[in-house]
Amino acid sequence: MAQAYFPSKVTSPNKELANLLSGERQLKVEDVQEAYVEQKDRLVNAIDATKSIMLDIQTFNKDEWIIRYPQYKEAIETVSPPSAPRRKSLRRSLTFVDDPVTETEVVVRKKMQRSVTVSPISEHTEEEEETDEDASSDFNVLRLDLKLGPNSTVTSLVSQLEKSSIANLLDERINASLNHVDKLRLRVEDTSSKVLVTGDLNAGKSTFVNALLRREVMPVDQQPCTTAFCEVHDAAENKGVEEVHIISQGHSYDVNDESSFTRASISDLEDIVGENEDNERIFKLYLADTRTPSESLLNNGVVDISLIDAPGLNRDSLKTTALFARQEEIDVVVFVVSAENHFTLSAREFLVNASKEKAYLFIVVNKFEQIKNKEKCRRLVLDQIKQLSPRTYENADDLVHFVDSAAALQPYTANPTFDDLESSLRSFVLVKRSKSKLHPVSTYLNNLLTDVELLAGANSIVANTELEQAKESLAQVKPVLERMKNGQESLEESLETLEEEGASGASSRSKLILAQALERVGQGKLGIDNSLVSLPSYPGIFGVWNFARDVRKALLASLDTAVKLAEDEARMITSAGVDRIKDLGEHHLPASVDRNRRVFMPEAMFSTVRKAGKGSTKNRRSLTVVAGGVHGLGIGLAQRPDMQEITFFDLFDVQHQFWLHFGDGQSDKATTADEESAAPTALGLASVGVGALTMVGGQAIGAKGLIEGIIRVSDLFGNETVRKWAAPVLGAVTIGMTAYLVLELPNSIPKTVGRRVRASVLRLHGDDDISFIDAHTFRISRETRKVLRLASWDLRGRFNGAMEERGKEVQAKEEIAKRATRAMEWFGELGRKSEEIRVNARLGSDA
């Protein structure tokens, strides 16, 4: 490609820059450079401090607190009188994307330039909530930018995520900001400046670069021809040699390392670009500018400048994405827009994105000479710039230029508008380096720190809310827990006392009832008075045997009734004990704990159906369950065949009479057991008649007198007269004795049977070495204790469970309060550190 060199025709040079570069104003250049170095050092310190803050946030977000992502909405403004000036309220409605329902009224205030604080509405008065148009409540760097469709919003998507997922998304944004901060530090430390020239397709970018270089270097055509990043450097950086370095893919470029690039001639650039149209290559162009330092941009004598000619924005998505990514290493953006098309959608998106960091953009409106209505074009373009980059619009005289780059390449032709553009660009890049190179870094740090303050303010409010809620919960739960701890020992003692009192009460009451019943039976009476059982009536001498059997059945049934009465008394005692246990539960259990809803059924005690134990039933004793108990313990006496058997001794108790008349005079109670313990003998059976006689004679003259009389009678039988009277006397005695037996049997049989029943019951039963009274007393007491113990266990379980639950709740709330307190302190310190960074680095002030 042919190259042409044109002499500079600067008709309106930048006098300020010319003087600064001359010897007369060298002192001012040094002052500017000194101020730049000072501000650069402050900015480097601010970068390091900001990185430290972001790392702390990342650690805190992972280890101690799930940082919530807030959203701030404009509060509904109150209606003011028409005459009153409209005031913008600082009130915002604070919500969180993971909890959009809960809203908190807050005030977003601006403490210093671009420094934002968030605090609850209650901490401010109405006057403090007014004004401050610049107080922003939206995120810049840390915004969760999610796009799913035309009708999708960040809230609609993120609100469906868990808090931990949102924290992870935020963590990714923090990682991206950390990477960008590292690149910003490299940019600040780099003494050179990189100027990116970009724009839409066919906007004339390459023509504009050629005009700046005053030579045709970049390929120019009606079709898009710049498909790669072409960086133009001063040939002095390459030992004064003009050439192209094609950077090898996957290698880090080093001008002194020939393995990292391939050399090519400047004249072959157009062919090289065409050959690598489908490859993402970067070309380094080293050119010599023969113009003086006061006129040249590359050879300016102050700093190293590189011009980067970028592909068009709307050529394809990959190259557009690559262009967006390269903004991180760019100091100055020169955006070339066609005066015919103005700003396309791609251009708007790029400028909005670039404005987040670079408040000042250098905009070139190319092909302006071809526009007929220039004033209208100028007005429309400036209106669009005002919306896209307000700071650029404010400095439009220096930063927005309407030119025709192709005309500037015409030889020996004056082009004052392009000369003014070039002078302004050189001044912006060289003299105002603080604004062109450092201010973008300052802007990014401000935006990032503003986001940090919004996060800190919102999460501080969240932490304070959680702390207040935890304190409120502790104020309710902790006294309950303390009261339960203090009452635990008392409850245990009360339950043990109730259990013991119930069992002992049932035992003593049962023993008394059964002892009295047994005593009455021994006297031939029913065990209890008020009973459905009654003694049978005497049927006569011929029915005496059945009479004795019926009397035995009635007495045995009365003992069974006494057992049931003892059980009923135990049921009453148990029921009262269960009610007292419920009262203890009402007193000791918190109101929120469920009570035992089971209804106690006293009739279920002493159930007649019991489940057999597991295991083999072989050799297991068969138990007949009657009258609420077990046959082997003497329970259900009226149903036992062995207890219903009648013997002759139920009619005539010879042994009892023998012990009564010939014993040592012990009472009937003392001798009953002993006389019944002796088995009947043959002598006793043979002495039935004698016994009968003894009953009759013994009542009249006494047994001893009778025997003595018999001896004397034997002596009298030797007298003839006595023998005559013997027969009549013996007949009379026999008739009297028989009459006595017939008349006495209805009264003697119940007593005789009762004594024998009592003696049988008091004897040991089967294999169980336990008496009738003790067996029933133990059984009834055990059943009472079991029921009371089950009720006590239920209450203990509920009480211990409730106390454990309250303990865990108190522990959890205390942990929340501790964590919330720590978070409030940490977020407060985070805000103070952010403000300190701003003050020390003087961030936010225009350079």
Least confident of 160-164, 454-458, 835-839: 160-164
User: Can you name the residues that pair with 233 across neighbouring β-strands?
Assistant: 286
Question: Is 70 exceeded by the pLDDT of residue 221?
Answer: no
Q: What is the pLDDT of residue 379?
A: 93
Compute the distance between CA of residue 23 and CA of residue 692 in angstroms, rounded to an integer. 166
User: Rounded to whole angstroms, what are the CA distances from 814 to 389, 440, 546?
Assistant: 50, 46, 84
Match 């609100």 to its residue by tokens.
159
Q: How far apart are CA 273 and CA 281, in angstroms?
A: 9
Q: pLDDT of 554-569, one tens digit each?
A: 888 888 889 999 999 9
Mean predicted confidence (pLDDT) in 383-406 = 91
CB 442 within 8 A of CB 417: no
Residue 825's pLDDT is: 93
Q: Is 213 helix (H, G, I), strand (E, B) or coil?
A: helix
439-522 and 163-189 helices cross at what angle (nearest 10)?
160
Cα separation, 470 vs 472, in Å, equals 5
Do residues 89 and 77 lie in contact, with contact meaning Cβ atoms separated by under 8 Å? yes
Q: What average pLDDT does this structure show over 74-89?
A: 48
Rounded to whole angstroms, how far apart are CA atoms 511 and 490?
31
**DSSP H stretches of helix in 108-261:** 154-158, 163-189, 205-213
Residue carrying the six token digits 């059982």: 533
3-state DSSP of 139-179: CCCCCCCCCCCCCCCHHHHHCCCCHHHHHHHHHHHHHHHHH
- SS3 of 400, please? strand
Q: Give DSSP secondary structure letters for 567-605.
A: HHHHHHHHHHHHHHHHHHHHHHS-TTSPP--PPP-GGGT
Point out the least confidently predicted range of 439-453, 615-629, 733-747.
615-629
The predicted structure's pLDDT at residue 427: 85
The predicted structure's pLDDT at residue 74 = 59
Q: How confident is the model at residue 744 (pLDDT cuts 50, 70, 90)?
A: confident
pLDDT tens digit sequence for 7-61: 443 334 444 544 444 444 444 556 667 888 888 898 999 999 999 999 998 888 8
Nearest residue to 65 via CA among 811, 825, 807: 825
The pLDDT of residue 771 is 78
Segment among 132-136, 164-168, 661-665 with least mean pLDDT: 132-136
Phi, psi angles (nearest 5°) of residue 151:
-105, 10
Given a cut of 90, whether residue 815 has pLDDT beyond it is yes
Contacts of 251 (CB under 8 A, 6+ apart): 259, 260, 261
124 pLDDT exceeds 80? no
d(CA 440, CA 446): 10
Task: Please tell me the predicted confidence (pLDDT) of residue 344.
Answer: 87
- Mean pLDDT calculated for residue range 107-115: 54
What's the pLDDT at 693? Answer: 43
**Mean pLDDT throughout 177-189?**
88
In 3D, which of 442, 421, 362, 423 has the Cα closest to residue 395? Answer: 362
Contact between 66 and 164 (Cβ < 8 Å): yes
Res 118: pLDDT: 61
pLDDT tens for each residue of 465-497 = 899 999 999 999 999 999 999 999 999 999 999
pLDDT in tens, 287-316: 988 888 877 788 777 778 888 888 877 655
pTM of the model: 0.63
Residue 191: the pLDDT is 80
Q: Do 409 and 805 meet the contact criterion of CB atoms below 8 Å apart? A: no
Q: Is the pLDDT of residue 132 over 60?
A: no
- 100: nearest Cα among 151, 156, 46, 32: 156
> What is the predicted pLDDT for the residue at 717?
61
Q: How much of the chain is helix, strand and coil, in % rounded to 5?
A: 60, 10, 30
- For residue 692, is pLDDT > 80? no
Average pLDDT in the 659-686 region? Answer: 45
pLDDT at residue 664, rounded to an integer: 53
Q: Please, what is the average pLDDT of the chain?
A: 76
For residue 412, the model assigns a pLDDT of 72
391, 363 Cβ separation under 8 angstroms: no
Mean pLDDT of 438-454: 87
Band (pLDDT 50/70/90 cuts) for residue 76 is: very low
Residue 2 has pLDDT above 50, yes or no: no
Give 759's pLDDT tier (boundaries 50, 70, 90): confident
Tell me the per-residue pLDDT of 644-654, one tens digit each, with 9 for 90 and over. Answer: 777 767 676 65
Q: Average the pLDDT over each of 55-59, 450-454, 757-761 and give the range with the smallest value.
A: 757-761
At 609 the pLDDT is 47
> Quick one: DSSP state of residue 200?
S
Say if residue 627's pLDDT is above 70.
no
Give every CB contact of residue 464 below 8 A, 6+ residues apart in sequence: 120, 820, 824
CA-CA distances (angstroms) from residue 243 to 228, 253, 267, 512?
Answer: 17, 15, 9, 125
